[in-house]
Structure 1
Amino acid sequence: MKYYCYILTNKNRTVLYIGYTDNLKRRVEQHKKGNGALFTKKYSVCELIYFEEFIDSNSARKREKQLKNWHKDWKWNLIKESNPSLITLEVE
């Protein structure tokens, strides 16, 4: 089974949300429908701009906690390394 740590943003790219899941496609859809976290609903954060894949849930959760403790600039730099245009990623 695969696990994911992911970062979502809003359409203006001003807010970041970090989470982890075992089904990235389903989780992003939940956020889009407003059924994700209250934070993502409140700030319309539902565009996937970054994710990492893991083979166990503990690693994904650990990475989520690590990223949540990073400075905002560090998070943006990480995202821009793999997604310099900050395009919304599609999940297969």
Structure 2
Amino acid sequence: MPYYVYILASHSRALYTGVTNDLRRRVWQHRVGFYESHTKRYRINRLVHFETTDSARAAIAREKQIKAWTREKRMALVEQWNAGWLDLSAGWYGPP
């Protein structure tokens, strides 16, 4: 089973890092504000980076590593793979 470490961003580039075993479902939950949370309050719902691993432990360790980084280092990670800060989940759920 794959596990994902993901980074979401708001339009103003507020960031959130999480881990899941179902990326499509989890991103949808963030998009619709399924839970009362930081991501709902600040509209952090655009998938800008994700990594895949086969190990839950590895995914959790990577999430903790990324969360311990400075904001600048997390932003550099996003820009390394997604320089335009495009929403990588655009089109997953049909028209907005």
Shorter chain as denominator, the TM-score bin is: over 0.9
| CA shift for structure 1 position 73 | 0.6
Percentage of matched positions with identical amino acids: 37
Asked whether the 8 Å contact 1:31–1:37 carries over to 2, the reply is no
The secondary structure found in structure 1 opposite 2:85 is coil
Structure 2 length-normalised TM: 0.89
Tell me, in whole angstroms, the C-alpha distance in 1 between the residues paired with 2:51 and 2:36.
19
Q: Which residue of 2 aligns with 1:43?
A: 42
Does residue 1:70 correspond to 2:69, yes or no?
yes
Match of 1:5 in 2: 5
Unaligned runs of 5+ in 2: none
- 1:25 and 1:17 mapped to 2: Cα distance? 16
Give SS of 2:87's match. coil
4+ residue segments displaced more than 3 Å: none
Displacement after TM superposition at 1:83 (Å)? 0.4
TM-score (norm 1): 0.93
After superposition, the CA RMSD in angstroms is 1.4
1:18 is displaced (CA, Å) by: 0.3
For the pair 1:55 / 2:54, whether they are aligned, the reply is: yes
The alignment partner of 1:62 has SS state of: helix
CA distance in 2, matches of 1:4, 1:10: 19
Offset from partner CA, 1:1-39 (integer Å, 9 cap, x none):
1000000011222x0000000000000000011014611
Aligned residue pair count:
91
Aligned mates of 1:71, 1:55 — CA distance in 2: 26
Distance 1:20 1:36, change over 3 A: farther
